[in-house]
Amino acid sequence: MDPIKVDFSGKGRPKEVVIPPEKKVLKIIICILTTIIGGAIAYYFMLPAINLKAMEFYYFIAVVIAIYVGMTFITSKAFVKPEYIPYVKRQAVVPIVIGLVFALILGIGYLVSAPLFRAKDYSEIIEVTEEEFGTNEKSITTITSLEDFSSVPMIDKDVALNLANKTLGDLSDWVSQFVIDEKYSTQINYEGNPYRIFPLKYGDVFKWIQNTKEGFPAYLRVNMYTQEAEAFVLSDNNLPNIQVSTSEYLNERLDRVLRFKFPTYMFGTPSLEIDETGHPYWVCERIDKTIGLVGGTDVIGVVLVDACDKNNIQYYTMDEIRTNKDIQWIDQIYSDDLLVQQYNYYGKYNGGFINGYIGQTGVMTTTMGSSYIASGDDVWLYTGVTSVTNDDSIIGFAIINQRTKEAVFQEISGTTESGAQTSAKGIVSDKGWDATFPLLLNIDGEATYFMALKDNNVVKSYAMVSVERVQDAVRSEDDANPDLEACLKAYVSKVKASTKRQLNIKYDAVLPDAIAGGEGTGENTTNGNNPAELLKVTGVITDIRTAVVNGNSIYYIAVDNKPVYYSISTAEDDAVVILNKGDTVNISYVASDEAIVTAKTISK
């Protein structure tokens, strides 16, 4: 029997017969026109940058190819006539080859951008200066008196949002139409105080239809120091309503305004900021991939969009941002996520790619979470830095300017931000309050975490925790009136007891009611705004008594047999412990009709 011969080469297999559909040319034209129309619609909604470095561009190409192949399948009726499937395959060859070319470009781009080959470039995408804590005062708020707290946010974003929502709720004509767009809120430095700006967005598509012609009548801003929220009504300040926003559906939508003006630019996260007059602008970072084709995201310029006029758009290079005096009010050029990502590249690849994964000598990473420090005219992002081999404590802080990307690493060992929050919440464990993300302060050389303790986003107290000694944690004790001055005095006393060193803090500032113990305390303010006049008395001590209140020793002193006692705590002035009956003293105090008067100073 002769052996059976089987040809596996396929040469003898009959070729697939390609049967073109009727009116082939007309159907090809229909497919092309439909692809153009479908691509235009896809472009309008996807808004890809026409740029080989943009991932969304490749997604857009895939959508266009899918539209053409799909229309070929539909117009040939291959779904009911399988004999036309070979024709569809042939028609799809060119678009699929185009797609594969783009896929090849992207694949090669990822390869040449990989940290495996470009670790040094990734580590140098941000330049970091290393220094000891407290040696660079411009990048961190140094507290030597209560007045220095004016640049310190007393609250976090959630509390600010709560205040803004209450303000919007008081505006009955608006609250039914608009809601706060918290995603695009921005913390800035405005008129010497930290502010958070909240844009509005439409409540739903029907409210957009009703209001889009007029636009947004206002934005909300919250003073993070005084904790005052207000609606900035544009018409009351001779400004037109906001027309460009992130919640528009058609041509006034911010990303659409940007894309039609700059079709090849890639953009990062926009932020709403205001100039010195309160005029709102969208600050849009223009990003680029600086390592290979798709690696090393960085900001190379800024597009400034007038929120009240979509035709007023200006582009600035980074050199212009740093030197143009007319736009120095811009605070946030680099987004939080981008700065943290770049610093983590520096921390991970500074010793090379292999060291970033094996051995990990000197490898650092940021802790979870970040916050802001207002210093001078700038806003600095800060976050703790920990070793990758031990994330229970920090080795220092990364502090980065959000406008210039100037970055410093301040070396200090201590607890992480989450550890400080746990310590602060432990003080009020019986109350179940939450702690805001800690702010980093330099209190006369003492690295300190500062937090507000809150209940349902209402501030109940303030807390301070030493970075180096987590057990040194205090809070203001008056739950009804959170008192910053009381918290600071208790902390200074705690640090002195732990370190035996004196902190030279001055307590002579006039604090807003919201942070100075509440309205009507009579200790710091008159009518909530003007300083209360300090009165003085000189006399001989005829009676002196002591009591412990909330863990503080309080001295009550009467002079010249008068029926008034002047009270002062050892946390405020520990020299009071050496006073005795018969001593002549000078007392400064705020006028009061009470039998016990709070003294500001008592000295021989």
- The pair of structure tokens assigned to 242 is 């906001």
Burial 182-210 (b: 16+ CB within 10 A, else e): bebbbbbbbeebbbbbbbbbbbeeebbee
Rounded Cα distance between 540 and 556, Å, is 14
- The pair of structure tokens assigned to 270 is 């926009």
CA separation (Å) from 150 to 232, 513, 527? Answer: 21, 13, 20
pLDDT computed for residue 524 by the predictor: 37
pLDDT computed for residue 259 by the predictor: 97
What angle do helix axes 115-123 and 85-113 make, rounded to 10 degrees?
50
Backbone φ, ψ for residue 9 (5° rounding): -75, -20
Question: Across the 604 residues of the chain, what is the mean pLDDT of every consecutive 10-residue run?
Answer: 53 68 89 96 97 97 96 88 87 94 96 95 94 76 86 91 90 85 91 91 93 94 93 93 95 96 96 94 97 96 96 95 90 93 95 91 91 82 88 88 93 92 91 92 92 91 94 84 88 88 81 67 37 73 77 80 83 77 85 75 80
Name the residue among 41, 135, 133, 43 with its Cα closest to residue 414. Answer: 133
- Concatenating the DSSP letter of every residue in 76-132 gives TTTTT-GGGHHHHHHHHHHHHHHHHHHHHHHHHHHHHH-HHHHHHHHHTSS-EEEEE
Name the residue among 527, 474, 524 with its Cα closest to residue 498. Answer: 474
pLDDT computed for residue 604 by the predictor: 78
What is the C-alpha end-to-end distance of the chain, expressed in Å? 129
- Please tell me the total number of residues recorded for the chain in this structure: 604
SS (H, E, C) 454-497: EECCEEEEEEEEECCCCCCEEECCCCCCCEHHHHHHHHHHHHHH
- The pair of structure tokens assigned to 565 is 């006692």
- The pair of structure tokens assigned to 531 is 């300083």
Q: Where in the chain is the domain with CATH 2.40.50.140?
A: 533-603
Name the residue among 16, 13, 12 with its Cα closest to residue 86. Answer: 16
**CATH H-level superfamily of 533-603:** Nucleic acid-binding proteins (2.40.50.140)
pLDDT computed for residue 521 by the predictor: 34
Q: Are 522 and 597 in contact (CB under 8 A)?
A: no
Backbone φ, ψ for residue 181 (5° rounding): -95, 80
pLDDT computed for residue 96 by the predictor: 94
pTM (predicted TM-score):
0.80
Q: Are 126 and 407 in contact (CB under 8 A)?
A: yes
